[in-house]
Amino acid sequence: MTTIMTIRRNAERTTHAVLLLATALPWAAAPALAQAPGVLPAPAPSAAPDAAAVAATAAAPGSAASVGRAPVASPTAVLTLEAAIARALERSEAVLLAAGGREVAAARLREARAFSNPTLVVDAEDVFGEGQFAGFDSGETTVALQQPLPLGGVRGARIRGARAGASLADVEAMLAARELRRDVTIAYAEAVAAERLAALGRERARIGTESLAAVSRRFAAGLESDLQRARAEVETSGLQAAARRASAEVAARRRALAALWRGEPAVEPLDEAWFDGPRNSAAEAAAGPLAVDGHPRLARARLAVERARAALEEARATRFGNAQATIGTRSYGGEPADGNRAMVLGLQLPLPLWNRNVAGIAEARAALASAEFDVERAARALAAEREAAAAELDAALVEVEALVSQGLPAAVSAARLAAQGYDAGRIPLLERLVAERDLTELRERLERARLELRRAEARLESLR
């Protein structure tokens, strides 16, 4: 009986040691941890496990750790970040609406450049009367065209306003594409992080199940209290529930990503190499000057000022109204003979004596002042957002570097020493499981820090 128990315990130690060595090092932090003293060698990049491999290593089918596991697609085709951005740019409603806005602005510019339509006037006078005016033959018929002529520079101001509106629509389209790229990048990073956190959640559920089993054995041997066993049961239940929520979060994050291109959630695996890769150009931009002069949001505010200024000029010119030129021909009744036709020329000029569009001018002036204040507000808001994003990026960089270079190697080393101590019979199983749990929690911290890093990068990149 003693021999059987010894063999069983040795088999249990060997199994736990293999699981620890298989999952101790996060594949994402392998390059940094390979240089740390006393740390297990990192696996080769080609052997980097995906979410399915981690799940298979962390828990067997039917165990508590496999509860709520989401299906993972074949890793043959990877949906890269640029591919996701291309899908969104092609189908996003924000980009499509911005393109429609550009068409509308171009049509308004064409309309502003066109003159007002002329009016055809046909008059018949002195007809269907009595005496010599009976019938239609003795009447006078006038056929003329009347053309409105804008005065005071109304047409030029209207064209300038429409041209500013067309430029504003172009900037809006550019801004929509930039903000969509930011949103897709953040959603993509959140989806990758959700898959990794789900795998780590399953690992924590496995550790909780093993801890509960160890506590139950000690309770059966009279070495643990009933309160300790109840605490272990509650903790294990919480870990299993957290694993289910994390698996559900994977599907939710993929749906949120697919919503940006108005499609079904992608089944392809995501590019985890991008998530762990080097910082993009926004990291270098964080250390540069916080100049925002070329940002589309500031350009939008300035174009709004130009359009408001053109509207003010138009309001000032509107007080003169429109002149109206008339040209036509008049036919006189009687027998056809030379001289029974004459030209009709006319010009009508409004006199701005009482209504001088004072209210319209005041309203346009107030709109211009508001637009000028909007430029200042936009510049201040951009500068503040860039400073906040740069600070978030710097903090995330510091946290990731600290975890990769110091925290994670120490946790891996502690977990390995605990496994070795358990195999040698120097420490109990619970201490080894505590070391594994600490390692898993640190890996979760690292993934969350990487997610914050990618979020800050995306925000900062959209503010350049």
pLDDT digits (tens, 9 = 90+) for 28-69: 333 333 333 333 333 333 333 333 333 333 333 333 333 333
- Per-residue model confidence as pLDDT tens digits over 375-385: 999 999 999 99
**Distance between CA atoms of residues 216 and 233, nearest Å:** 9
What are the sequence ranges of the domains in the chain?
A: 2-114+151-319+356-462
DSSP H helix total and E strand total for the chain? 13, 4
CB neighbour list of residue 167: distance below 8 Å, 6 or more residues apart = 303, 306
Digit-by-digit pLDDT tens for the chain (464 residues) are 333 344 344 444 444 443 443 333 333 333 333 333 333 333 333 333 333 333 333 333 333 333 333 444 444 688 999 999 999 999 999 999 999 999 999 999 999 999 889 999 998 887 777 766 676 677 788 899 999 988 888 889 999 999 999 999 999 999 999 999 999 999 999 999 999 999 988 888 888 888 788 878 878 888 777 887 788 788 888 888 988 998 999 999 999 999 999 988 888 899 988 988 776 654 455 445 555 567 899 999 999 999 999 999 999 988 888 889 999 998 877 555 555 788 889 998 888 888 888 999 999 999 999 999 999 999 999 999 999 999 999 999 999 989 888 888 888 888 888 878 877 777 777 787 788 888 888 898 999 999 999 999 999 988 88
The residue type of 61 is P
Q: What is the pTM of this model?
A: 0.72
**Distance between CA atoms of residues 164 and 146, nearest Å:** 31
Q: Are β-strands 140-150 and 341-348 bridged in parallel, bridged antiparallel, or unpaired?
A: unpaired
CB 194 within 8 Å of CB 249: yes
CB 386 within 8 Å of CB 459: no
What distance lies between CA 153 and its chain's CA centroid? 43
**Distance between CA atoms of residues 338 and 330, nearest Å:** 13
CB 283 within 8 Å of CB 457: yes
CB 460 within 8 Å of CB 453: no
CATH number of 2-114+151-319+356-462: 1.20.1600.10
- Per-residue model confidence as pLDDT tens digits over 385-423: 999 999 999 999 999 989 888 888 888 888 888 878 877
For residue 281, the model assigns a pLDDT of 53
CB 22 within 8 Å of CB 57: yes
For residue 369, the model assigns a pLDDT of 95
Describe the crossing of helices 2-23 and 51-58 by its angle, rounded to 10 degrees: 160
Describe the crossing of helices 154-220 and 93-113 by its angle, rounded to 10 degrees: 170
Q: Which two structure tokens, joined as six digits, stand for 318? A: 């509107």
- Nearest alpha-carbon partner for 210 in 16, 455, 405, 435: 16
Q: Which two structure tokens, joined as six digits, stand for 188? A: 């993509």
Helix (H) or strand (E) holding 3: helix 2-23
For residue 335, the model assigns a pLDDT of 56
**What is the end-to-end Cα distance of the chain in Å, rounded?**
72
For residue 217, the model assigns a pLDDT of 83
Q: Sheet containing 119-125: which strands, arranged edge to edge?
A: 119-125, 140-150, 322-331, 341-348
Tokens 């053309």 — which residue?
147
For residue 153, the model assigns a pLDDT of 87
- Nearest alpha-carbon partner for 330 in 162, 121, 128: 121
Compute the 3-state secondary structure of the chain and give helix, strand, coil in percent, each to the nearest 5: 65, 10, 25
CB 29 within 8 Å of CB 408: yes
The dihedral over CA atoms of 332, 334, 340, 346, expressed in degrees to the nearest 10, equals -10
Local structure of 24: helix, strand or coil: coil
CB neighbour list of residue 33: distance below 8 Å, 6 or more residues apart = 25, 26, 39, 42, 404, 408, 409, 412
Phi-psi region for residue 279, left (φ > 0), alpha (ψ -120 to 50) or beta?
A: beta
CB 90 within 8 Å of CB 260: no
For residue 124, the model assigns a pLDDT of 84
For residue 37, the model assigns a pLDDT of 33
